[in-house]
Amino acid sequence: MTIVYIISAPSGSGKSTLVNELFKMVRNLDFSISYTTRSPRGSEKNGKEYFFVSREEFEAMIAADEFLEHADVFGNYYGTARRFLREAESRGRDLLLDIDVQGAGQVKQRIPDAVSIFILPPDREKLEWRLRNRGLDSDAVIRRRLDTARREIENYSKYDYILVNNLLEQSADQLKGIVVAERLLRSGVELSSEEARRVQAAQACRLEASRERVQPILASFQPQAVKGN
């Protein structure tokens, strides 16, 4: 049975890098490329980062119920087509969705046993540094992304797993561990001692084990914690 993995994170949290590392380490995992009505940026190519379509095409797909989830974000549509799930199921592979908090909620409603993973930055200061360091956005856009990040992070408790992306190699190993552990748990076979150890290690990222670790991160995004305010 196909497992659907949902990964969400504020912009600049390093999600795309972690996902790329995951695909180097884990087999039999498909990636759903989102549809969007926004224009390509920089070197983005249609069918690679996104499927770029017109607003009319997107709305026709909505009318035909072709999306697992979709949302209007800052005036542009984004959505995950159902066909990716059908294709993964036909190949006996699992499916990874890189979607935002709103989309994750829609998928969870449709697929309750989907595995949801929320990636957090170490704190607000580190997230702002990452956003500025990549040099893609104006100050106004960065401020908007930070404000959006604060609102998104407040939804962390809706996710099954919480992963704080501080050190890339460690975070990539944790992400791999979660994916592998869920496969083991759903395999229906008795686990070896090594497999049981893998599952136990992944449990450290479960929501119930992460709440205390998340509190300082949440606090760093509150207005009183922001320098100059």
Selection from 35, 150, 38, 57 nearest residue 103 by Cα = 35
Q: Which residues pair with 4 in a beta bridge?
A: 95
Tokens at residue 199, please?
A: 């599952």
Q: How far is Cα 177 from Cα 21, in angstroms, rounded to an integer?
A: 12
Look at residue 229 and tell me whether its pLDDT is greater than 70: no
Contact 162, 214 (CB under 8 A): yes
- Give the pLDDT score at 207: 96
Selection from 14, 179, 6 nearest residue 104 by Cα = 6
What would the mean pLDDT of 115-124 be, rounded to a whole number? 96
152-184 confidence digits (pLDDT tens): 999 999 999 999 999 999 999 999 999 999 999
Look at residue 228 and tell me whether its pLDDT is greater than 80: no
Q: How far is Cα 85 from Cα 137, in angstroms, rounded to an integer?
A: 33
Q: Which residue has the higher pLDDT, 136 or 161?
A: 161
Contact 70, 78 (CB under 8 A): yes
What would the mean pLDDT of 38-53 be, rounded to a whole number? 91
Burial 68-89 (b: 16+ CB within 10 A, else e): bbbbeeeeebbbbbbebbeebe
Look at residue 74 and tell me whether its pLDDT is greater than 90: no
What would the mean pLDDT of 60-65 be, rounded to a whole number? 97
The correct answer on CATH 3.40.50.2000 for the domain covering 4-31+100-225 is no
The mean pLDDT value of the chain amounts to 92
Selection from 166, 161, 192 nearest residue 176 by Cα = 161
Q: How far is Cα 129 from Cα 54, in angstroms, rounded to an integer?
A: 33
pTM for this prediction: 0.90
What would the mean pLDDT of 193-199 be, rounded to a whole number? 95
Selection from 226, 62, 89, 202 nearest residue 147 by Cα = 226
- Give the pLDDT score at 58: 98
Selection from 181, 27, 170, 71 nearest residue 115 by Cα = 181
Q: Classify 9 as helix, strand or coil.
A: coil
Q: Which residue type does 70 have?
A: H
203-225 confidence digits (pLDDT tens): 999 999 999 999 999 999 987 54
For the chain, the domains span 4-31+100-225
Look at residue 2 and tell me whether its pLDDT is greater than 70: yes
